[in-house]
Amino acid sequence: MPQQLVITGGQALNGEVTISGAKNSALKLICAALLTEEPVTLTNMPDLKDVETLCALLTFMGAACKREGDSLTIQATNIGVRAPYELVSKMRASILVLGPLLARFGRAEVAMPGGCAIGDRPLDITQHGFEQMGARFILEHGMMWVKGKLKGVQIHLRLPSVGATENLMLGATLAEGTTVIENAACEPEMVDLANLLNAMGAKVKGAGTSRIEIEGVQKLHGATQAVMADRIEAGSYLVAALLAGGDKGVTVRRSPNFALKTFFEMLRATGAKFEEIDENTLFVPAQSRHFTAVELMTDYYPGVATDLQAQTMLFATQCDGISKIYEKIYENRMMHAAELRNMNASIEVINPQLALVHGKTKLSGAHVKCTDLRGGMAVVLAGLVADGYTVVHDLHHLDRGYEKLEQKLSALGAKIKREEIEAVA
């Protein structure tokens, strides 16, 4: 039965919240386990629908995935090379199996995931990179049939795609010779992935910079690694604390502060007050909440992440003046604007990548839906500060990427509960 979240606005948040392992790192680390016959154990593994979906795909392929508490062990001793549409279409990150399969078996059959809620999201950069490494792609009947023994080459990415960088890095670990990826994505998740690959016996240098060098090796072995903390979850709770924090303030633990510097700078420019107590702790004290307008242009790392754009748009509704939100990474990631408008926000979407937010407006609780994962978080945060009840629908988006959302918010003092939706006669 479908479910909804019911939030009673206006409750002050106080206390502590602990950030979980990063979805966008966890999924790639799981795919890395396909590169070896030996077990790979990942700790600090978030309990998320996306992790479950990827484990279902790996299990279909023949791997064993065993979860114990926050640790996940994957053993891919005898696996097939086919990733079918039914599983890939549920989650785009499933195409990250391509690199490991090609590297280990010289072939892969992976369904094309198609578009998604935030735009077209083509795969040309990944395909072109693997073609340069010697793979041949046949795109037929909605599948990518890929074959070839990968060879190390120099690859210059058309743009620093996160997924392409990761897929090529995974593939290059077992390629013959050295691969250099130029204009590579610099996101911190690249470093997490390279660390695991190196612990498995790979030779990856330069992850986290725009030039990654991977010297191919013959074989990889098992390893254990903790998933890095989720910078997007941390940024989301920071916004929650700024807008709804009470007298005692909110402490955000295990926040990867190093990975949020430009986001912090953007928020501080509005008058927002918070302290970086140490590398992994944020403290958000009670504050006046007279914020000035925000200027955001999302960008590749170290710029402000597109995955924090929706939460920032919501924050802007509580700032005085006209905030400008420019979405550089995706062609259509402002669907949440219409939901926030339902709650009385004054947002002009000038074009699908530019919105002006006129603030400050008192938000009013309403029925709203999650348009994608991050848009979903924006409406939940809006519900915390709105008048009356907010009912959030289409929770499957939220469940993909925020671990224990209601529990974490309730522990801070929010009134939020999940209920089954009864059919309206």
Give the residue numbers marked as catalytic: 116
State which residue, 123 or 143, has the beta carbon closest to ligand EPU.
123
> Least distance (Å) from ligand EPU to the CB of residue 158?
7
Binding piece for ligand EPU, criterion CB under 6 A, among 8-16, 115-123, 281-289, 379-387: 115-123
Torsion angle in degrees (nearest 10) through CA of 243, 381, 162, 91 = 170
How far, in Å, are 82, 109, 286 from residue 85 at the CA level? 10, 10, 49
Question: Are the beta carbons of 139 and 111 closer than 8 angstroms?
Answer: no
**Residue of 67, 121, 341, 404 that binds ligand EPU (CB under 6 A):** 121
Binding piece for ligand EPU, criterion CB under 6 A, among 62-70, 287-295, 305-313, 344-352: 305-313
State which residue, 284 or 378, has the beta carbon closest to ligand EPU.
378
- Residue 168 neighbours by CB under 8 Å, 6+ apart: 99, 126, 129, 130, 133, 155, 179, 181
Binding piece for ligand EPU, criterion CB under 6 A, among 29-37, 117-125, 360-368, 384-392: 117-125
Is 210 exposed, middle or buried, given 0-12, 13-18 or 19+ CB atoms closer than 10 A? middle
From residue 83 to residue 112, what is the string marking binding to ligand EPU with x (rule CB under 6 A)? Answer: ---------xx-------------------
> Least distance (Å) from ligand EPU to the CB of residue 299?
10
**Residue of 20, 24, 75, 270 that binds ligand EPU (CB under 6 A):** 24
336 binds ligand EPU (CB under 6 A): no
Binding piece for ligand EPU, criterion CB under 6 A, among 4-12, 73-81, 157-165, 417-425: 157-165
- Residue 296 neighbours by CB under 8 Å, 6+ apart: 266, 304, 309, 312, 316, 323, 324, 325, 326
State which residue, 52 or 387, has the beta carbon closest to ligand EPU.
52
164 binds ligand EPU (CB under 6 A): yes
From residue 41 to residue 80, what is the string marking binding to ligand EPU with x (rule CB under 6 A)? Answer: ----------------------------------------
Which residues partner with 110 through β-bridges? 83, 144
Cα 247 from Cα 194, distance rounded (Å): 42
From residue 261 to residue 300, what is the string marking binding to ligand EPU with x (rule CB under 6 A)? Answer: ----------------------------------------
From residue 359 to residue 388, what is the string marking binding to ligand EPU with x (rule CB under 6 A)? Answer: --------------xx--------------
> Least distance (Å) from ligand EPU to the CB of residue 351?
15
From residue 398 to residue 417, what is the string marking binding to ligand EPU with x (rule CB under 6 A)? Answer: ---x----------------
**Residue of 330, 339, 380, 386 that binds ligand EPU (CB under 6 A):** 330
**Residue of 230, 233, 307, 403 that binds ligand EPU (CB under 6 A):** 307
- The residue number with the shortest CB distance to ligand EPU is 163
Which residues partner with 392 through β-bridges? 5, 368
Tell me which residues touch ligand EPU (CB under 6 A): 24, 27, 92-93, 119-126, 159, 161-164, 305-307, 329-330, 373-374, 401
